[in-house]
């Protein structure tokens, strides 16, 4: 550019250095960063099932769409365009677009990953903060009536599912919490259970 452009750039760099917001230029791509974020941050801090879901979304959606960009080049418009394309043609089988709920989930993961990049001082700002994700429709939860619950328990009475189902409907415990119960968590004298752990099935 012109001399004035150079002077303007110099002023901006000096200000960034003085305020501690300067980020040295890097050739690390979004793909490389997301792979590092999964290993160094997501894997140690999330459950095995959550990590698998993060890795699947990164590999299937985020990396193919944004991975070729360098991390410091990633702009809100890149992300907004990715969301638009995901809504219209994001399905892996080519049958159409993803649901708004799926895109919102991708947005949350990308926002979390890039927020960590800011804390690691790899970028100055999180570009997802300037992006509008689609609005996901709230699904009304469908629950069993009292009569349906009784019918389900009667049907399971002679099976190994009876006790887990009974615990679920009478305590509100989750499946992973129920299957993780041991006798050490049961106090028959006080008729109480302690939830101390949870199990989940992963591909590993």
Show pLDDT as tens, one digit a residue, over the chain (204 residues).
788 888 887 787 676 666 666 566 678 999 999 999 999 999 999 988 899 999 999 999 999 999 999 999 999 999 999 999 999 998 888 889 999 999 999 999 999 999 999 999 899 899 999 999 998 777 788 888 999 999 999 999 999 999 999 999 999 999 999 999 999 999 999 989 999 988 877 776
**What is the rounded distance in angstroms from the CA atom of residue 27 to the CA atom of residue 160?**
57
Sequential DSSP letters for 62-96: IHHHHTTSBGGG--HHHHHHHHHHHHHH--TTSSS
pTM: 0.71
Structure tokens at 125: 């700002």
* pLDDT tens digit sequence for 145-172: 999 999 999 999 999 999 999 999 999 9
- Residue ranges with strand state E in the chain: 186-187, 192-193
Sign of CA dihedral 170, 171, 175, 179: negative
Contact 105, 112 (CB under 8 A): no
Please give the pLDDT value at position 76.
96
Residue 117: how many other CB atoms lie within 10 Å: 25
Share of the chain above pLDDT 90, in %: 68
């Amino acid at each position: 550019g012109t001399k004035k452009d150079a002077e303007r750039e110099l002023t901006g760099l000096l200000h960034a250095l003085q305020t501690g917001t300067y980020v040295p230029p890097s050739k690390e791509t979004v793909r490389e960063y997301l792979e590092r974020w999964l290993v160094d941050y997501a894997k140690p801090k999330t459950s095995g099932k959550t990590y698998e879901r993060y890795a699947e979304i990164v590999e299937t959606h985020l990396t193919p769409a944004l991975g070729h960009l360098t991390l410091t080049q990633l702009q809100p418009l890149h992300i907004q365009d990715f969301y638009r394309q995901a809504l219209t043609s994001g399905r892996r089988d080519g049958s159409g677009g993803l649901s708004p709920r799926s895109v919102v989930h991708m947005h949350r993961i990308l926002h979390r990953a890039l927020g960590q990049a800011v804390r690691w001082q790899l970028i100055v700002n999180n570009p997802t903060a300037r992006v509008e994700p689609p609005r996901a429709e709230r699904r009304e939860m469908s629950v069993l009536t009292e009569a349906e619950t009784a019918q389900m328990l009667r049907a399971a009475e002679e099976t190994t599912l009876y006790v887990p189902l009974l615990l679920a409907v009478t305590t509100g415990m989750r499946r992973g919490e129920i299957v993780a119960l041991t006798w050490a968590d049961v106090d028959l004298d006080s008729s109480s259970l302690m939830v101390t752990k949870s199990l989940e099935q992963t591909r590993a």
